[in-house]
Structure 1
Amino acid sequence: MTSSADLRPDRGGRTLAVTKGHGTQNDFVLIADLDGSLDLTPHLVRGLTDRRAGVGGDGVIRLVASSALAAGAASLVEDPAARWFMDYRNADGSVAEMCGNGVRVVARFAERLGLWDGTAELVLGTRAGVRRVRREPAADDADDADDWYAVDMGPWHLPGGQAAVVAGMDAEVVVAGLAVTRPALSVDLGNPHTVLALADVDELTSVDLTRAPTVTPTPAHGTNVELVVPLGETTTPDGEVVGQVRMRVHERGVGETMSCGTGACAAALAVRTWAGAGAPDTWTVQVPGGMVRVRVLDGGHVELAGPAVLVADVVVDLDALS
């Protein structure tokens, strides 16, 4: 087993030890900078995430003591148990509030480092508030038999309020490959999302997400755009009704990714809103990188569950990064 010291940044030279991980193929470069002494610049983030000249990833996650970052102070006020902070950066170097797939992956990373034993909840600080993670058995129909990680993603809301619920939309989106502008619903999970429904899987497959969709009104800080196809409902052997959707996503600061955790939550919550009274509280969301589960919790919270995988430990030559 690799020790935490082995995975910390090398302060003595121009190398940096990192770990590569993913959650449903939403992939990250993970850094254990426990004392917060690494200068994680946008240039370094872009170099690490470069898929040809770097390690490659949709973003960089630095695991750091909450007390070592100004952004971590709010987490400690919210819950003093949030000793560790998830410092997330998009692939373009911009700072993001949090990432649902990334929370699960960084939880597994904390296990690897010996910072969490996987039994009690891991209390983790993020810029979107404290998140709590627990281990649980994988879903019966999951491709991977390894344990899943379930995250209380905190509160969610519809920025458009009741008017958006009644209208079913509060935005319009232009997507390459779709002939007409589509209505969409804004969903906030600590980071912004705009969700639009498509008619079928063929239409979902045909869209071009190499170009960023155009959202009107233009969100002040950008938005992730989820394209979803409702797939109906199933009933589990114990009688629970579970909704199903398929999704693709264009993430701000990244482009199309194989999965987006907060985006999966936004997609399920939007379809649940459109379905109206009696809609399921539990949803499976199929993304290009696999499957996750979204569950509406009491108190206005939502939970995300799915796999988390660490695939490699890498020592990066910083001088070789472009």
Structure 2
Amino acid sequence: MTVPDVAPTAPHAGRGAPPAPVPRTLAFTKGHGTENDFVLLDDRDATLDLTPGLVRALADRRAGIGGDGVIRVVPTAAVPEGAALLAQDPGATWFMDYRNADGSVAEMCGNGVRVFVAYLERLGLAQVPERTPDRTSGALVIGTRAGLRSVHREAGGLYAVDMGPWRLAGGPDAAIAGFDAEVAVVGLDVARPALSLDLGNPHTVLALAGEGELAAADLTRAPDVRPLPPHGTNVELVVPLGETTAPDGDLVGRVRMRVHERGVGETRSCGTGACAAALAVRTWAGAGAPDVWLVDVPGGTVRVRLLPSGHVELAGPAVLVGSGTVDLAALTG
């Protein structure tokens, strides 16, 4: 192969030893969470050189496998962030190395966490505990660049992920004003005020008047966000759909959402984006707003719950649709 930018390599066996042969094929699994789809790679030995070029080639929907991103399974101890994560929880054996489709490194992905743990189970590397009614059961803890994430399995095959703490990027002033940014979207007549949130990765949420505006938005081009965060932002367009009372008596809010993800474009779903959308609408609603929200995205529905700890939880499905091998020479041309 003559394309070192995209070739996975194995480390040398020792000083002066010849390099290990470069693999000509790469095993993969394809999965999705509410149609937010990923190419999954088993790198439990930490020998894969996952370069931006290889990520772009794998995620290419015409010349590659296709996906909104690439997720690599790697031991937490093998990554630069690993020591700090393992100091917090030595049981966080596996690290979710997530890359956007354009090859850029990302902090984490809410839908991707669910697909990642389903993949760990498929590989026989971990088991996600069932959640007990009193919520005292243990959890599977994994490492991400946004910190540790704990996961339970729920009835119906759903995975519930403690997404960690969240915050309004603009602080209390943004909560009072209801916005701290302005977003212009192609297809909408004027720029709209928006609220910035941090869920380990950046989000900017703007509310629309109705589903007609939501459908009219053109997300084939990145929205213009001002001020733009230093590392870019995901942009969520939301339409509040009201509140209902669940059979257990909980008040449940509902929103419909579309999202433009940095480094990807419009996707069928975004887990951290769904959390951001629910939390923004809850902030706008004020006192008495629900702690539980259903978020409808083009790829399905996820549940967002504000936890007593101040963390936010995301629950939804994870589907592994198939596995195979890719010819690296054909993939990279």
What is the TM-score normalised by the length of structure 2? Answer: 0.90
Q: Quick check: 1:316 aligned with 2:326?
A: yes
Whole-Å separation in 2 of the counterparts to 1:216 and 1:290: 30
Whole-Å separation in 2 of the counterparts to 1:288 and 1:74: 37
Whole-Å separation in 2 of the counterparts to 1:41 and 1:312: 23
Segment drifting more, 71-80 vs 249-258 = 71-80
Q: Secondary structure at the match of 1:321?
A: helix
- Identify unmatched segments of 5+ residues in structure 1: 1-8, 139-146
Q: Secondary structure at the match of 1:63?
A: strand
Contact 1:103–1:151, Cα closer than 8 Å, also in 2: yes
What pairs with 1:12-51 in structure 2 (closer than 5 Å)? 13-51=23-61
Q: Secondary structure at the match of 2:309?
A: helix
Aligned equivalent of 2:209: 199
Q: Quick check: 1:210 aligned with 2:236?
A: no
- The one-letter code of the counterpart of 1:43 is G
CA offsets per residue over residues 75-95 of structure 1, 9 Å max, x none? 112211111000000000000
Q: Quick check: 1:71 aligned with 2:81?
A: yes
Q: Secondary structure at the match of 1:298?
A: coil
What pairs with 1:74-93 in structure 2 (closer than 5 Å)? 74-93=84-103
- The one-letter code of the counterpart of 2:143 is G
Q: Secondary structure at the match of 2:63?
A: coil
What pairs with 1:85-104 in structure 2 (closer than 5 Å)? 85-104=95-114
Q: Secondary structure at the match of 2:274?
A: helix
Whole-Å separation in 2 of the counterparts to 1:98 and 1:53: 25
Q: Which residue, 168, 190, 193 being the options, matches 2:200?
A: 190
Q: Secondary structure at the match of 2:81?
A: helix
Q: Quick check: 1:122 aligned with 2:127?
A: no
Segment drifting more, 235-244 vs 274-283 = 235-244
- The one-letter code of the counterpart of 1:125 is G
Q: Quick check: 1:154 aligned with 2:164?
A: yes
Aligned equivalent of 1:255: 265
Q: Quick check: 1:264 aligned with 2:282?
A: no
Q: Which residue, 110, 121, 124 being the options, matches 2:120?
A: 110
Whole-Å separation in 2 of the counterparts to 1:90 and 1:290: 21
Aligned equivalent of 2:302: 292
TM-fit CA distance, 1:300: 1.5
Segment drifting more, 100-109 vs 11-20 = 11-20
TM-fit CA distance, 1:153: 0.1
Whole-Å separation in 2 of the counterparts to 1:205 and 1:301: 31
Whole-Å separation in 2 of the counterparts to 1:243 and 1:13: 50
Q: Which residue, 240, 244, 251 being the options, matches 1:234?
A: 244
Aligned equivalent of 1:283: 293
Identity %: 72
- The one-letter code of the counterpart of 2:147 is G
Whole-Å separation in 1 of the counterparts to 2:97 and 2:88: 17
TM-fit CA distance, 1:73: 2.2
TM-fit CA distance, 1:16: 0.2
Whole-Å separation in 1 of the counterparts to 2:318 and 2:173: 37
CA offsets per residue over residues 131-188 of structure 1, 9 Å max, x none? 00110013xxxxxxxx000000000000101110110000000100011010000010
Q: Secondary structure at the match of 1:45?
A: helix
Contact 1:72–1:126, Cα closer than 8 Å, also in 2: no
TM-fit CA distance, 1:115: 1.2
Contact 1:259–1:287, Cα closer than 8 Å, also in 2: yes
Whole-Å separation in 2 of the counterparts to 1:76 and 1:46: 30
Contact 1:60–1:89, Cα closer than 8 Å, also in 2: yes
Superposed CA RMSD in Å reads 1.4
Whole-Å separation in 2 of the counterparts to 1:112 and 1:148: 15
Whole-Å separation in 2 of the counterparts to 1:238 and 1:191: 33
Aligned equivalent of 2:229: 219
Give the 4+ runs in structure 1 shifted more than 4 A: 9-12
Whole-Å separation in 2 of the counterparts to 1:84 and 1:75: 10
TM-fit CA distance, 1:237: 1.3
What is the TM-score normalised by the length of structure 1? Answer: 0.93
Whole-Å separation in 2 of the counterparts to 1:52 and 1:74: 39
Aligned equivalent of 1:243: 253
- Identify unmatched segments of 5+ residues in structure 2: 1-8, 11-20, 130-137
Q: How many residues align?
A: 307
Whole-Å separation in 2 of the counterparts to 1:148 and 1:94: 29
